[in-house]
Structure 1
Amino acid sequence: MPLSHTPTAQVAAPAATAAPAPRHWLRAGGLMAASGWSANQYSSLLGAYRAHLGLTAATTTALFAVYILGLIPALLVGGPLADRLGRRRVALAGLGVSALATCLLMTGPAVPALLWPGRFLTGVGAGTLLTAGSVWIKELSAAPYGTAPTPGAAARRSGLFLSAGFATGGLAASLIAQWAPHPMVLAYVPHLALSAAAALSAARAPETVPARAPHTAAAAPAHRVPFRRLVVPVAPWVFAGPALAFAVLPGLVDARLHGWQTVYAGVVTAVTPGAGLLVAPLARRLTARHRLATAAAGLLVTAAGLLLGALAAAHAQPAAALLAAALLGAGYGLCVGYGLTEVAALAPPHHLAGLTARFWAVSYLGFLTPYGVTVLSGAFAPPAILTGVAVLALLTLAALLRPGARHSAPLS
């Protein structure tokens, strides 16, 4: 009898003692959520700054765009630094800059001039976090640290964390600004708490790249042409739609909101990236069939959202504008999923952070779109401008699907 039980015990023992796969990528994910939160907490307060500080629409929109002036250089520098110095060190440094920027924004009601360096440093912190953090999550999701089924699935996780931060940051700030005292101070407190929690969590995640001194090129020549052809045309649309939803649409329909402008703006900043999260399964299915299908769907949905936004602006309809924001958010989710998947497929490991930085840098050019709308609004009506932007999205789709670009194969 003892002998008859021995094989069963020998087989069962390994299963009973097998440890679950670690999820270190969740620890790094908090950094991406904090980055999205820091970027969007200001967006929902645009109306409050105009009402309480007397800032003009042009000033608040310019402050929205100053973010890009800090973000793009940080993206381009942060990627190579993360490849050379390691992901964790660069990501935590970016988180520290982001927290400092939030402190400067909190002083805005007393010293409005500090809003400018606050927004600039918000971009610096976000750019550093995006490059180091997104690559760190991708590497922690794959072997030997994680069990993500494909490189594309691992790469898309950073976009999901970023979307979660976008959605919750703007909504939380707007709710605080609507009902709490000292709204433009207390609205920023949650980000400081989230940053502290994210830092403590990420400090316990393993470093995936040891510190090293040798210089590596930003991108191998073999990857530059497909990156320019397949990624660069789509990248600006990642944030062009959400930026218009955050900074332009609420102001075009707020005449019917009667005191609920701040809450409405916060709902928009939650619905837009929230829709991006909801389309993640669709992005995965489209990518499994053909990578370009995800980009095509993203550009089509973005164009539809812009056209609906133009209609909402023409008739001052907040409900239609909210639906337009959801469509723009869905377009964002599809485009960012496509971009991160394509970069993961194109870049060798030692160039991944650098190529990811280039993708985010081009993507964040879309945040300049609201400023362009403000400039053009002196000559054209906002519905006409939004319609023109929708036409540009469709032209981008046509360029992407031209014969020279239709060679992309399904991701293995």
Structure 2
Amino acid sequence: MSETRTASVQAVDGRCGNGVAPAGGRAPAPLWWVWLAAWPVTAVFVLSNAATPLYVLWQRDIGFSKGTLTVVFAFYIVGLVGSLLVCGVVSDRVGRKPVLLPALGLAMAACLIFATATSVPALIVARLFSGIAVGAVVSAGMAAVTDVAGPGRKRIAALLASCAMVFGAGLGPLLAGVLSETAPAPTVTVFVVEAFLLATALLAVLRMPLRGPEVRTRGAWVRVPGVPRGNGRQLVLGTAVFAPGITATSFVLSLGPSLLSGLLGTTSRIVVGAMAFAMFLAATGVQFAVQRLRRRTVLTAGAVSTALSMTTLIVAVHTSSVPALIISALLAGSGQGMGQLGGLSLLNSSVPPQRLAEANAALNVGGYIPAGVLPVSAGYLSDAAGLTSGATIFGAALLGLAVIGGLVVVATRSQVTDPV
């Protein structure tokens, strides 16, 4: 992680297309700025899953089924995917800050709606706003980390951006679970805290050493995000592993509380939040552990981890085993973490800066679409046929996708043999 401060590298950093740079445009930003640039990603992802332990309270007070719960969750995916169709391209054309600042404002609005929600439509709107904000940070925010880092620190940029995402995703449900059990106003307090975190992220974006893009891409402003010609294979490889991984963690987030309730007979929000936090802590830790391995190894291990997660999930629901469910969640987090790191590393190493936010958006579109569709299907199937049957069918389908993703990586050696 050491910084290279050679004058020639500094000059290249200062000229980097969409905004990298630092004061005066000549010297790369200090390493601490690269870490701080990842904070807005963490802050928004805290919001993305903060509602997870609270759904049991809203279900009790408002009254809705597991199927409706997964629909509420899916509107987050709708907002996210819709945002990805716009934010990556806009960020590459007008800069990171013009995308990130409105997104943070929308995230604060989502906090207000969550804190005052008394109906399913309110929850849907709050989740929709959250998804839009997340779509902005996984495209513009993660690209901003790479911009601030500069060309000589792409490895650490990919690592910090990816870990910021999964750590925030895990911290949200843990905060919500603890605060809702120990503080007054259980569905309000966590969103007050989150609004404060978002305010600090807003200040970080305002001060972030970024410039507007010097090279502008052409084409429609709203389009399915993609990658430059010649980078399609890298995108496919990353998506093949990232998509099953994030779908597995999405299932745990949406129906994990119901599984815990059935297996443990508990509705403890701290337990629910702790399991989600442990899952994403595994996703964070595994990325630091494998950061120096070859991309092919990282992606293959991610696919194997997701496949094992689904195998363990099936065992858990048929044996009513809480340890098996926890192991499944940890393996799911590890699978997402490695798939995400491998995919981002492939794109960071090959996509030019003026298309990087769009490339990040493309990777996440490929991941979040199945992450929205499959858990919703599992939720309604669970309502109709029982939670055991729904979870079994979901696990078997995702196990198959994870195996296919691993085989795709193994069969494509030439694109994934470089170190992460």
Q: Sort the TM-score into its range (normalised by shorter chain).
A: 0.7 to 0.9
Structure-1 separation of matches of 2:218 and 2:147: 21
| CA displacement, residues 110-148 of structure 1 (integer Å, 9 cap, x when unaligned) | x442111111111111101211110000111125xxx63
Give the structure 1 partner of residue 260 of structure 2.
253
What is the Cα deviation at residue 389 of structure 1? 2.1
Give the structure 2 partner of residue 186 of structure 1.
189
Does 1:372 find its partner at 2:377?
A: yes
Structure-2 separation of matches of 1:255 and 1:237: 25
| CA displacement, residues 307-337 of structure 1 (integer Å, 9 cap, x when unaligned) | 1111111122223211211111111111110
**Equivalent residue runs for 1:62-77 within 5 Å:** 62-77=71-86
Structure-1 separation of matches of 2:236 and 2:205: 35
From the superposition, tell whether residues 156 and 188 of structure 1 become closer, same or farther in structure 2 (CA, over 3 Å): same
Contact 1:85 1:212 in 2 (8 A): no
Does 1:40 find its partner at 2:43?
A: no
Structure-2 separation of matches of 1:232 and 1:388: 17
Count of residue correspondences: 382
- Pick aligned residue for 1:131 from 130, 139, 153: 139
Structure-2 separation of matches of 1:88 and 1:108: 30
Does 1:385 find its partner at 2:389?
A: no
Amino acid at match of 2:122: L
Give the structure 1 partner of residue 329 of structure 2.
325
From the superposition, tell whether residues 317 and 230 of structure 1 become closer, same or farther in structure 2 (CA, over 3 Å): same
From the superposition, tell whether residues 331 and 34 of structure 1 become closer, same or farther in structure 2 (CA, over 3 Å): same
What is the Cα deviation at residue 205 of structure 1? 1.2
Structure-2 separation of matches of 1:152 and 1:212: 23
What is the Cα deviation at residue 160 of structure 1? 0.9
Give the structure 2 partner of residue 152 of structure 1.
155
What is the Cα deviation at residue 375 of structure 1? 3.2
Contact 1:135 1:155 in 2 (8 A): no
Give the structure 1 partner of residue 354 of structure 2.
350
Amino acid at match of 2:376: Y
Give the structure 1 partner of residue 202 of structure 2.
199
Structure-1 separation of matches of 2:162 and 2:134: 13
Does 1:52 find its partner at 2:61?
A: yes
From the superposition, tell whether residues 259 and 223 of structure 1 become closer, same or farther in structure 2 (CA, over 3 Å): closer
Contact 1:299 1:394 in 2 (8 A): yes
What is the Cα deviation at residue 86 of structure 1? 0.8
What is the Cα deviation at residue 228 of structure 1? 4.8
Contact 2:227 2:235 in 1 (8 A): no
Give the structure 1 partner of residue 237 of structure 2.
230
**Equivalent residue runs for 1:22-33 within 5 Å:** 22-33=31-42
**Equivalent residue runs for 1:307-326 within 5 Å:** 307-326=311-330
Give the structure 1 partner of residue 14 of structure 2.
none
The 3-state SS of whatever aligns with 1:131 is helix
Q: Which consecutive unaligned segments of at least 5 residues does structure 1 have? A: 1-18
What is the Cα deviation at residue 165 of structure 1? 0.8
| CA displacement, residues 162-213 of structure 1 (integer Å, 9 cap, x when unaligned) | 1221121110011122233321122321210100011112211111434776
**Equivalent residue runs for 1:398-409 within 5 Å:** 398-402=407-411, 405-408=412-415, 409=417
- Pick aligned residue for 2:406 from 388, 397, 400: 397
Contact 1:283 1:338 in 2 (8 A): no
Greater Cα radius of gyration, structure 1 or 2:
1
Q: What is the TM-score when the length of structure 2 is the normalising length?
A: 0.85
Amino acid at match of 2:362: R
What is the Cα deviation at residue 157 of structure 1? 1.2
Contact 2:283 2:337 in 1 (8 A): yes
CA RMSD of aligned residues (A): 2.3
Structure-1 separation of matches of 2:252 and 2:377: 14
Off by >4 Å, runs of 4+ in structure 1: 211-214
What is the Cα deviation at residue 384 of structure 1? 4.2
Give the structure 2 partner of residue 300 of structure 1.
304
**Equivalent residue runs for 1:207-226 within 5 Å:** 207-210=210-213, 215=218, 219-224=227-232, 226=233
Amino acid at match of 1:50: Q
Structure-1 separation of matches of 2:245 and 2:103: 22
What is the Cα deviation at residue 270 of structure 1? 0.4
Structure-2 separation of matches of 1:56 and 1:303: 29
Amino acid at match of 1:264: V
The 3-state SS of whatever aligns with 1:233 is helix
| CA displacement, residues 290-309 of structure 1 (integer Å, 9 cap, x when unaligned) | x2211110010111111111
- Pick aligned residue for 1:360 from 353, 358, 364: 364
Contact 2:45 2:166 in 1 (8 A): yes
Contact 1:254 1:316 in 2 (8 A): no
Amino acid at match of 1:332: Q
Structure-1 separation of matches of 2:272 and 2:405: 29
Structure-1 separation of matches of 2:166 and 2:79: 20
What is the Cα deviation at residue 371 of structure 1? 0.8
- Pick aligned residue for 1:98 from 99, 107, 116: 107
Does 1:166 find its partner at 2:169?
A: yes
Structure-2 separation of matches of 1:188 and 1:392: 36
Amino acid at match of 2:76: Y
